[in-house]
Each structure stands twice: as C-alpha cells, then as structure tokens.
Structure 1
Amino acid sequence: MRAIVYRQYGGPETLELAEVPEPKVGPDSVLVAVRAASVNPVDWKLREGYLDGMLDTFFPATPGWDLAGVVESTGVSVPEFTAGDEVIGYARKDIVRDGTYAEKVAAPVRALARKPSNLSWTQAAGLPLAGLTAYQSLRALRLTAEDTLVVHAAAGGVGSLAVQLARDTGARVIGTASERNHDYLRSLGAEPVSYGEGLPDRLREAGPVTAAFDTVGGEAVRVTRELGVPAERIVSVADPGVLEFGGSYVFVRPDPADLAALVELAEAGRLTVEVAETFPLEKAADAQRRSAEGHTRGKIAIEIS
C-alpha cells in the first residue's frame, strides 16, 4: 500500500511516497481504509524531532494522527465496529511509526467514533484532534453562559472549533485573528479583535474577560495575564509555561466518548469544520509546509482515496 514516510528527522523534503506493508490488526485495533487525513502542527513538529524527548520514533515513520475512512476489518476483541462502517479517529499511539498519511491504518478502537453523516470526508478528518483539543480544554475551564471567553488565534483549526463549542454553552466569545478572518469569526458567533500591538487595550475595551483559551503560546499568555484573568481560568495547548502561575496545559488525549459527543454536535448542525485547502497524498510535503506557515483558516486536509 502507499504511504508517506520520512527516514530521518528533518524538513518537509524528507517526506516521500513509498510502498509499505499493510498493517497488522491487533486484538484491540480496527483496520481502516483511509479516505482523508488532516494536517496538524504536531505532524511537522514530530518530523523535525521536536518531540523526540516525549515519543520514540521508529524509522521509516509515517506522519499523521487524524483520519476519516471505512472499516475493512476488526481485531478479535472489537465488537464496536464492523466492516463497512464509516469512522473518524484521533489515532495517536505511544510511538511514532504508523501514522495516518497512508491508504490503510490499524487504529486503536479507543481512538475511533462513527463519522458524522453530514460532513465530507475531508471535514470529518479535520474534526478529531482539533475538536478533542478544543473540547477537552474548554471542559477544563467549566464555561457557563455568564462567561466571556477570549480565544487566541480563533480562526485556526483548534480555535475555530473552540469558538463554536464555547458559543454552544451560551458564553460570549472574543476571538483574536487577522482582519481578513474577522467576517469568518462573526459567522461562527465570535466578536473579532485584531492581534498585534495594542492587543491588551483592545481586549480590555471588548471585555471584561473571565476566561481564556490559548492556542499560540508566548505573547498570548502574557497578554491574557495582563487582563487579570484568574490563573485557574487560563488554558493553553501551546505553552506549558502556564503551569508556572497556576494555569492549565492540555495535551489532547484520545477519548471515544468525547469524540462521539463531537459527532453528535456536528450532526445537530452545532459544529462544523472549515477546510481551507486539500492536497493529494503525494503532495503531503506541501501540505505540511502550508501548515508550518501558521496562517491557515480552519484545517488542511489530505485526500487519500
């Protein structure tokens, strides 16, 4: 079968299309014929070796943790799915080797849920990692309809889903973004604020802010603290430094119940996925280059079959 692999850490030029063996299906796994995968910043960070201290990488490695596809077969201890089921998954494992930029993936059953019937394959592939990241982060904030939440980089893949999930709770949402994405944020129910110099003053004018969700790190965390948001109401998925002053750092985990909740929201029309650009499998390097630019609205998808 075809898959994208890299044989050493390095830039996007290390990615190549290769023929690799079809994966074996363990007792708790599901063999999925992948229709689409999505590109996340963690994909190229892993490729460049930034997470080598956290996860063992075995070369040649195939990138990718998100998928949408059709079940081909199941492990002997998997009653949840049968051949022909359409599924999505955040197929992260404890090692880096057999990712989702491939025609077939043996995914842990704990990583899967049924595909939302009203989303395309590329939209569905963009939901798991980003959706779970937003869902689990906002749960840590315990938002209510009385809150005003600021989402930093609200037009990105995680940010745009966080906006929708927060609005679904009734909370008021302020989203930082470049001006070209302001109409997009308004369409999601957020009040846009331009990032850059003077951001703290603009947020104060729009506030008062009672909670913050950071997908950027660094300066965004500093700005949030300047607003006087209580430490326990600041969550970051980009900067572990928030832990130093009592904030929360979230590294998303596979959770079939959380993923199923996202599917229900999508099918109810309360959550959607913006796909900014789609690439064929053989252009995965270009897809990762685009992701690394850091200015994508919504998600980048890879069509596989």
Structure 2
Amino acid sequence: MDHHHQVLSIFSFLLTIHLSISGVISTTFTFVNKCDYTVWPGLLSNAGVPPIPTTGFVLQTGESTTVTAPTSWGGRFWGRTLCSQDTTGKFSCLTGDCGSGKIECSGNGAAPPATLAEFTLDGSGGLDFFDVSLVDGYNVPMLVSPQGGTGDKCTTTGCIEDLNGACPSELSVMSLDGKENVACKSACEAFNSPEYCCSGAFGTPDTCKPSSYSELFKNACPRAYSYAYDDKTSTFTCANAIDYTITFCSSPTTSQKATQGQDTKQESSSSSKSNSATPQLNNDNTMVYEGGYNQSEISEAMCTHVLLHSQIIACIITITTAIWHLC
C-alpha cells in the first residue's frame, strides 16, 4: 500500500470512529412522571437549531421516556395537565396547552402559566446552560438533575413545591368546576404591568426588581427563576453531562387533576407511586435537594458514564493500533 492510500485509509477510519463516538456521547433527556396524575410533556426547540424528534407525548404516573438531543441543541420543556380530546379529535389542555390541537406541539410553545425547563447545550466554553423558570408562571412541580456532568454549578435545580395551593387568588387559574387551583399566573401575566414584566422603563436589571409576587415564588423555590432578571441564583452549568433527568413531582402529588377533565382513552388505570422521600429545602441559595433519586438510579447513571469513557478509550487504542499497522 503506497503512502497516499495509507493516508486515505487512516482518514476514513478516523472519520468512522469519530462519528461512532459522537453518537455514543450524545446528550439525552429522561422525563419521569412521579405525579399521581398524567402529564403530557411539551418540547420546543430554539430557532436555528436541529429539533428534537418529538414535540409532545403522554407520560402516565410512574412512566419515564428518554429522548436524544442533537449536538448544540437549545430549547425548553414543560408539562401539560388536565388534557382531553373532544368529539372532533381536537386535543387541548387546561394548563400548559400549546394550541396545536394534538399531543405533538409541532413548534408551538406553552401558554402561560407553565413551569419551564430551559436548556442550551454546548454553549459558551463548551458548557451546558440550564434553568427552571417560573417567569411564565407555574403549573406543575419540576426538577432537573444532571447525570455524569462536572462543575461547581452542575447540580439539581427546580421547584418541588406545589405552589398552586399557595397561589394568591388574583394569580390563580381554577379548575373547570371552580374547586381547585390548577396553575398560578406570574404577576406579569395577571396584571400586564411594565413593573412586573420588566419592560419599558423597567427593562433593565437595575430598574426591574423582585416584587412581592415574585418573592412568593422565590421563597418557595430558591433555585428557580422568579422574574426576568433573576440570573445569579437561577442559572446552572455542566460540562460533559450525559443525561438530564426532568422529573414532574419529585414525590407523588395527589390532586383532583388525577380524575378531572382528562381523556379516559389516554389515561391508564395505573396507581403506582414512587417511594422517594420528599426533597428537603432550605430557603436560601445554598439549598440541597435530597431524596430526589434513589441509589440505584444514581449508580445506573454513573455506570453508564464509566461505560461511555471505556468505549472512547477502546476506540483510541484501536486507532493507535491501526495507524501502527499501516505505517
């Protein structure tokens, strides 16, 4: 084999290995429903990035689903509740509805109020940036937990409190029968005031300050965004995370949502419940989430992380051996 063919062979081999490794270390999102009611996750990709294949699906109590994100993906996730299908086949939800008329949101975002998980993968410095936001209000407890990542700010964030029960009447979204708060509006959504929306004269970090309403959210969920400029305590970063687990309700949350207004065709009779302890919160910015995941879940994630690194090392050894033989 002449030198030209050797170079081409090595290049082809390295390209194949590179593509293989890229597929192995893709970031995944695992959605887990620990609520005592069905949640329909919605997914919206940012403009200009390759989209995630699905834009919405159903997640029964106790179920989990994993989706793989394209390289450098960015977008948001949320949970829809109290969903049903009418006689014409139109699908809609009382909270978090995306207006598509179907389970798939097809490029539409969530109608507020809705708890949001926001991500930018492979951003500045190669880091993943993520947060849980209540800027558009709240409808369901949500926790984001990175698996296998590193960094001082690579930690669990979210809002595990049921804010619907504590929601002021002027922010409340009521169930169809008027007996229960099913979501909690932001002050911006409720009053459409520049002071609450951080717009106009209040459109800078210096002029837009926390309000009594945003502080209600912040006190309950110190790591979640409570208003537009709540960056310092609410943005988190990870290097080399292999998965982000998005959990709806970190422990079973019973409510009338389990039976009210939902389509029985899409609802299973499952009543399985998680035995996870309720995470403990300290109402400051150094709080620690405990009990969100059991030891077997953590061990599985770590084993996966070690396996991925082993595969990469094996590929490097294979490449080195091939080059030695060709030369």
- TM norm structure 2: 0.28
Name the one with the larger helix percent: 1
Name the one with the larger strand percent: 1
Which structure is larger by alpha-carbon Rg, 1 or 2? Answer: 2
